Homo-oligomer: A and B are copies of this chain.
Amino acid sequence: MAGPLRKTKIPDSARAITADLVAVLVAVTDGQPKIMTIANAGALPSGPFEFKHRSLQSGLRAWVEAQTGHPLGYVEQLYTFADRGRTGDGSSPHSVSISYLGLTREDQVADGAAAHWSGWYDYFPWEDHREGPPALLAKLLTPRLRAWAKSAASPALQRERWQRVAITFGFEDREWNEELVLQRYELLFEAALIPEAVRESGNAATLVPGRPMTADHRRILATGIARLRAKIKYRPVVFELMPAEFTLLQLQRSVEALAGRLVHKQNFRRLMEQQQLVEETGAIAADTVGRPAKLFRFRHAVLAERAVAGTKLPLSRT
């Protein structure tokens, strides 16, 4: 990006790079959010991009469907990262990583591959607030982040750091914002509390719990989780993670698994009803304790009926 931003005459051979696809494949099983991993749960599935398919998206979709044997419900591009070669000294080729978010169901995955499903809170233990704020937040994260804030050069910078911490982690009776997954990860990274941030991997005792991943895969995962947590609020994508028929409580548990926090049961049901997102199948759930629940299915018609998108502008209707 040295010259003007338009077609120049640099020979193509001189600027050749490679492109990789990285996938964040999400499923929810028994109320636990999972992601597909390889390399002993230490990496996201990824591979070289080839130009056999029309588009990046169709390439990813085809691959996943071949692996799982079922259509991939929802695919969305996440972000494109540039890596300056693995060594950084120019000895290895530059590459671009294009990451995607995909939604499936665990039971649809054919066995045999080296792929596994891992709970995503293994990688981000501080993100699960379904049973209240995790103990490790107050016990480990708070003191270490406070120490990091205090280590800044000037008092002004110290206050600034701590304010950032308090906002992104919901400290000092600010509200917890479940969408700030990426910001929290990046802050911990900046504070060098994350294994990926410290090359020497020394003094692990001062780090923060949570399973690391190769390269920047955990950052990509954080991006995917953040995107999904935001998306479930205005698009009916949870249903891609559900079986064909489900009870409202099962649906609620899935939403809670993704959001990492509990929702108000009665209001959740009211929302489903008034938005007409589901319809009764007529059947009743078996194998339950307590009063049996009606089974529902997703009303696929809503996808055609509406263009879901909310406005927040004080519009004028005249």
From residue 19 to 53 of chain A, which have CB atoms closer than 8 A to chain B? 19, 21, 23, 38-39, 43, 45-53
User: Taking the complex as formed, is A312 at the interface, i.e. its CB lies under 8 A from any CB of chain B?
Assistant: yes
Number of interface residues of A (CB under 8 A): 87
Q: Which of B7, B52, B305, B318 contacts A2 (CB 8 A)?
A: B52
Q: Which residue of B lies closest to A50 (CB)?
A: B1
When A5-B45, A5-B46 are in contact, do A307 and B177 touch as well, CB less than 8 Å? yes
User: Taking the complex as formed, is A201 at the interface, i.e. its CB lies under 8 A from any CB of chain B?
Assistant: no
Q: Taking the nearest CB of chain B, how far is it from the CB of A94, in angstroms?
A: 5
**B56 adjacent to A82 (CB under 8 Å):** yes
User: Taking the complex as formed, is A180 at the interface, i.e. its CB lies under 8 A from any CB of chain B?
Assistant: yes
Q: Which of B6, B10, B167, B271 contacts A38 (CB 8 A)?
A: B6
Q: Which residue of B lies closest to A1 (CB)?
A: B59
Q: Taking the nearest CB of chain B, how far is it from the CB of A134, in angstroms?
A: 17
Contact with B along A84-110 (1 / 0, CB 8 A): 100000000110101000000000000
When A19-B17, A98-B80 are in contact, do A47 and B4 touch as well, CB less than 8 Å? yes
**A79 adjacent to B77 (CB under 8 Å):** yes
When A163-B304, A179-B309, A307-B177 are in contact, do A48 and B8 touch as well, CB less than 8 Å? yes
**B167 adjacent to A316 (CB under 8 Å):** no
Complex formed: what's the CA distance from A48 to B227 in Å? 29
Give the copy number.
2
Contact with B along A60-93 (1 / 0, CB 8 A): 1011100100000000010111101000000001
When A82-B49, A315-B262 are in contact, do A60 and B1 touch as well, CB less than 8 Å? yes
**A53 adjacent to B1 (CB under 8 Å):** yes
Q: Taking the nearest CB of chain B, how far is it from the CB of A285, in angstroms?
A: 22
Please indicate the chain B residues that have their CB under 8 angstroms from the CB of A282 in the complex: none
User: Taking the complex as formed, is A183 at the interface, i.e. its CB lies under 8 A from any CB of chain B?
Assistant: yes
When A7-B47, A96-B19, A306-B167 are in contact, do A52 and B160 touch as well, CB less than 8 Å? no
Q: Taking the nearest CB of chain B, how far is it from the CB of A63, in angstroms?
A: 5
Contact with B along A277-318 (1 / 0, CB 8 A): 000000000000000000000000000111101111111101
**B313 adjacent to A259 (CB under 8 Å):** yes
User: Taking the complex as formed, is A267 at the interface, i.e. its CB lies under 8 A from any CB of chain B?
Assistant: yes
From residue 124 to 173 of chain A, which have CB atoms closer than 8 A to chain B? 160, 163-164, 167-168
Q: Which of B2, B309, B318 contacts A177 (CB 8 A)?
A: B309
What are 15 A-B contacts with C-beta separation under 8 Å? A1-B21, A4-B47, A4-B113, A5-B45, A5-B46, A6-B114, A15-B19, A16-B16, A16-B18, A77-B79, A177-B311, A230-B309, A233-B310, A262-B315, A264-B316
Q: Which residues of A contact B (CB under 8 A)?
A: 1-8, 10, 12, 15-19, 21, 23, 38-39, 43, 45-56, 59-60, 62-64, 67, 77, 79-82, 84, 93-94, 96, 98, 113-114, 160, 163-164, 167-168, 177, 179-180, 183, 230, 232-234, 255, 259, 261-265, 267-268, 270-271, 304-307, 309-316, 318
